[in-house]
Amino acid sequence: MRKSGTDNLVPAIKSPGDAPSMKGAEQFEIFPDYGPRINRRHMVAAAVVAVPLLFGFTGLAIRYAAVASTLAEPGFEAYARALCRWDCHWYVDISERGYERFPIPNQSNVGRWGFFPFYPLLVAVIRAIFPFPTIVVATVASLACSYAACLVAWPLLKKNMQAYVLYCAFLLSGPFSFHFTTFLSEPLFVLLTSSVFLALKRSSYPAAGISSALLSATRLVGVLVVFATVIEMFQQHRKGGGSPLSFPRWVLGRPDLLVAILISPAGLFAYILFLYVTVGDGFAFLHVQRAFGRVAGNPILFLWDGLSAFPKTGWLPTAPQWSALAAIAGLALSVVLMARKQYGAGIFCAISIVVPLITNLASMVRYVIGLAPLILLMAFLLSASKLTWIAALFLFLVACYFMTVAWIGGYLALV
């Protein structure tokens, strides 16, 4: 009798939140191994919540020290302003003033149209509730997004604590943590990308579609995640015994899948419509690239030019070399993802690297490290052995300081 009761209840318990309350010793007797199991789950849950929090504070302290070494002015606002470099100023402007019409005020050639609206809009909404300076609101929002991205990564890392620690360290205390904690699109981009892949992992296509729609309003390459969605659907169809030829018919027969696919680029289309109404050109975000000096060319030649830009003095690689190496490393990791049968993630990352590479190597390091599947894979691979794990963790924390100093100093490879 007692045994059958236990058998009936245990399989229904999926998480600590599902566990029945245990008020007395009698219940402990009925479910003898619940206590340790729940305690362990609670401990893991606490660790999952605490690890990114810890790295959030550690990273903040390291970057603050780096900023303090170059600036005399103390305080969080001064710190936030010091880290706001390059594109960050564009996002601040968009969040405060929106997009301009044509002709652009101040006789400028460069409109803000190249920067996608979702993150600055989100910051504007938060600022309406908490009336602090934009950069302060955005910095806190970016920290929150990166923290949330870490939590979303936990199931994507197959609950591998070592990989999780490395991933959190990279995002919040790593060499490029300033990208994820200032007003750039990266924090939200990483969070939404992770959300899409988590939804796909759970075959929750409507959730993937909505996250993709928001992603496509965050950065242009965000729209490419729709390929990952379609590939995941195709894999599901094949697992169910469907043939490749019957896939289109299968999708057409599933309206939920159709909605998920068609809603994915909705953010991009909304922005195109907005630009058509305000500027008269829905593709202003592409056309304005001319004023930034971006020219379409052969990605292989851009890579070659970058690699062959040897330093004139010293041995440290030049900014173009770092950018080319980042692109190559990103493409190599994309291939590894595909080799591990994560075709959707691999193709999404590869195209997201190649698309900006068509114009040149500018911002390539930032684009590569902003691709969540690549960083998740890197964390996974580096945590394969304890030695590499410790070395990587140490390197991330040390590099955080020096890379922040380089970022503040305007080092071109980090732009």
Partner 1 sequence: MLWSDVGNPYARAISLGCYALAAALAVSEILILALALHPNVHPDYRAYYIDRTTTCLNRDTVGIYSLGQTVSFRSDGAKRASGMKVCGWSGPAADGTHSLGETSRLRLQIPPLRDGLKATLQMAAVVRPPQMTQRVIISVHGVSVHKVTLSGKQPMTVSFFIPHAAFSNASTFEMTFDYLDGIPPSKAASSIYKRSIKLVSFRLDAV
Per-position x/- string for 267-286, each x denoting binding to partner 1 as judged by CB under 8 A, each - no binding: --x--xx--x--xxxxxx--
What is the C-alpha separation between 274 and 369, in angstroms, rounded? 29
Q: Which is nearer to partner 1, 69 or 108 (CB)?
A: 108
Q: Which is nearer to partner 1, 272 or 381 (CB)?
A: 272
List, in order, residues 6 or more apart from 400 with CB less than 8 Å away: 59, 62, 63, 66, 173, 174, 175, 177
For the segment 146-175, give every residue that binds partner 1 (CB under 8 A): none
412 interacts with partner 1 by CB under 8 A: no
Structure tokens at 396: 């991330």
The CB-of-165 to partner 1 minimum distance in angstroms stands at 41
Structure tokens at 306: 């970058």
Residue pair 18/12 in contact (Cβ under 8 Å)? The answer is yes
302 interacts with partner 1 by CB under 8 A: yes
Per-position x/- string for 327-366, each x denoting binding to partner 1 as judged by CB under 8 A, each - no binding: ---------------------------------x------
Look up residue 116 and give its amino acid: F
For the segment 231-260, give every residue that binds partner 1 (CB under 8 A): 253-256, 258-259
Select from 5, 35, 293, 311 the one that contacts partner 1 (CB under 8 A).
293
The CB-of-138 to partner 1 minimum distance in angstroms stands at 29
The interaxial angle of helices 372-382 and 319-339, nearest 10 deg, is 80
Compute the half-sphere exposure of residue 280: CA atoms within 13 Å on the CB side of its CA.
Answer: 3
394 interacts with partner 1 by CB under 8 A: no
Residue pair 52/172 in contact (Cβ under 8 Å)? The answer is yes
Q: Which is nearer to partner 1, 176 or 322 (CB)?
A: 322
Q: Which is nearer to partner 1, 272 or 415 (CB)?
A: 272
Sign of the torsion angle spanned by Cα atoms 221, 224, 228, 229: positive
Write the CA distances from 36 to 33, 43, 170, 171, 389, integer angstroms: 6, 10, 32, 32, 28
105 interacts with partner 1 by CB under 8 A: no
Place of tokens 């998480």: 15
* Residues lying near partner 1 in the complex (CB under 8 A): 102-103, 107, 109, 253-256, 258-259, 262-263, 265-266, 269, 272-273, 276, 279-284, 287-288, 290-291, 293-295, 297, 301-302, 305, 360
